[in-house]
Structure 1
Amino acid sequence: MEEVQNYLLAMSSILIAGIAVYSVLLILGIPSLTQRTKALRTGVVVIIIGVGLWTMHALGSLSLQGKPDFREGVLFPYAVYGITIAVLLFLFSRLRLLLGERDQLKELAYKDALTGLLNKNGMDHFWDHCKENEQLAVLFLDLNRFKSINDTLGHHVGDLLLEAVGGKLSQFSSKGKRHIFRVGGDEFVIVAKRCSQKEAEQLAVKILETTTCKYKLEQHHLFVSASIGITLSHGKTERGRLLKEADTAMYNAKQLGTGRYSVYKPDTANADYAKWYGNFKAK
């Protein structure tokens, strides 16, 4: 009867370890849209692990009751208790491995293979986790004459150009403050947090000075310029509006000439009218 009891306690302990690990995996798989839900998810995981370990310890202690020495069969309960802990540690090592693989897959899903910058999926992920009233400056960058370069020299040279531009833009990335995305073709979006209009214009100038230059692409030497449109969030963060305004300002910058930026500012008298100012000619 005592052996049956010890067996049941051992199986119960292993079952609790499995349930705890499975629950942690299940909860970590739930996306956290805000910092509050992320903190809540972390708290629940800690509680599950704590309760699981305490329950296993309680079962192990119960199996050892009334066994003061090895002569009364204490070796078997100790062995089962140790095996249970080993199984739990093994399962958590597998958990860490799975989470590491998930992070690698997420990185591949969110990064542009050509430039190494974040891609459109990464931008969607950024907007989904952005605070509702975050102060943002959105810069929309487009390369001038990129289509003609692709058409005349081939897509291979165009890819080399995008790769070179991506390398130059990456230096402006700052974790937690500035995020750079390639959203398609030769279009790039830079989103800066807690950025004023003056700071956004200064950033645009630095980016234009860096990207508007002569590129050596194999046997080709090409002078390429960029155009940037800027808009700022006011109150509620709306991704569609911000991207559209920055895109509109970028097209106006193209009309002003090469290597320029424009700031989108809606007229207070007419929301459909927009004026642009703060233009810069890259030297």
Structure 2
Amino acid sequence: MLMEKLPAYPFCDLHLAQRLERTEAASNAHFVEARARVFPRCQATWTEVAGAYAMFDGVESPLTQTFGLGLFQPVTEAVLDTLEQFFEIRNAPVFHEISPLADPALWPLLTACGYAPVEFTSVLYRPIWPEMDLGKPRNARLQVRQVGLADQETWQATAALGWSEYPEVTDFMQEVGQVTAAIESAVQFLAELEGEPIAAAGLHLQGTVALLSGASTVPTGRNQGAQWALLERRLQYAAAQGCTLAIMGASPGSPSQRNAERHGFRIAYTRCKWQKI
């Protein structure tokens, strides 16, 4: 059985939460830095406050928020004020995405300061190693390949079409390919069904941790096993680069979460996004 072949999972504790959240924060910081280089007019930037990374990637970007708040240092009202100023001077909404393993004193403080929960994300993880057998044969008509500079437009168009049901994300995805191509630690993959691109996904390597992100399938290419194949290929690639742990986020109960769990991922915790109302 698949689960019998897996090495021990790290315990889901504060140390693991710090490791997972710092990986995602660092990956997003690299993205913001690349955005500033590729599209300097957007004035993308980030800063660290009380151990949390605060990102500005544009007013509408899903990356414009904080990561890791309350996991590394206590949070006071003064800390929240500093973070709010970072976003408000850029006319951006204030979002904090917070692990349930953060300092328990943070929750009543957020409520008292006018925040409300607006979104939940399942944070999933699993150990990885070279020569993994994920236990399911791939659709023989599918091919997954790493994307080079010559295929950036194809990757970008495929990724954007895969998110076409979510207009608020589509515009963001239109530029992701160009930005990600400028990040040394990022790798892009494309799934093709009999030569036609139907799905795209990204991978960010941070030390020994691999962050899987940006997976989407075009509406006409769904139910062909593309996401399974992309997940498998990215895990194999990351393990070959020396990564020992993989992480990803998904909407609770979503097909993406179920697909990850079929690949041996476990839910570390459910993260909550808070917005200043």
* Bin of the TM-score, shorter chain as denominator length: under 0.3
TM-score (norm 2): 0.21
Between structure 1 and structure 2, the one with the greater Rg is: 1
- 1 or 2, which has the higher helix percentage? 1
Of structures 1 and 2, the one scoring higher in RCO (CA 8 A, sep 6+) is 2
